[in-house]
Amino acid sequence: MDDLISDARYHMLRPAGPDGCTVVVRETSFLAIGNGEAYAVGHTGLALSESGSWTVDDGYRPVDAGTYAMSWGRDGGLLRISGTSTDPVINGGSADINCDW
């Protein structure tokens, strides 16, 4: 879907993980559905593959609203997405962030 139609918003999550691995999230909202994808980005600034995705009711954008948790370990990270009682996550809800390029 074209970003002009979907009103995409991008977020770089902090703090960065091991060796400077950064998570970039793209959130869109169209009609009554919100979608998001997470990407692991290295020093080159390129994301080679999607790490995870989710769908949320009523066009809610969890990362934009701050209803997420990001944790890091030695081998990567885990992004957990939360909705609200009225805007629940209906598909997905977490992303394993693998920084092994």
Q: What is the pLDDT of residues 41-69, one digit of tens each?
A: 987 888 878 999 999 999 899 999 999 99
Q: Give strand ranges (E) for the chain.
A: 9-13, 22-30, 33-41, 50-57, 68-73, 76-81, 89-92, 94-97
Average pLDDT over residues 14-18: 88
Q: Is the pLDDT of residue 75 over 90?
A: no
Query: Average pLDDT, stretch 24-47?
Result: 90
Average pLDDT over every residue of 5-9? 76
Q: How many CB atoms lie within 10 A of CB 59?
A: 16
Q: What average pLDDT score do residues 4-25 get?
A: 86
Do residues 7 and 28 lie in contact, with contact meaning Cβ atoms separated by under 8 Å? Answer: yes
Q: d(Cα 49, Cα 46) in Å, to the nearest integer?
A: 9
Average pLDDT across the chain, whole number: 89
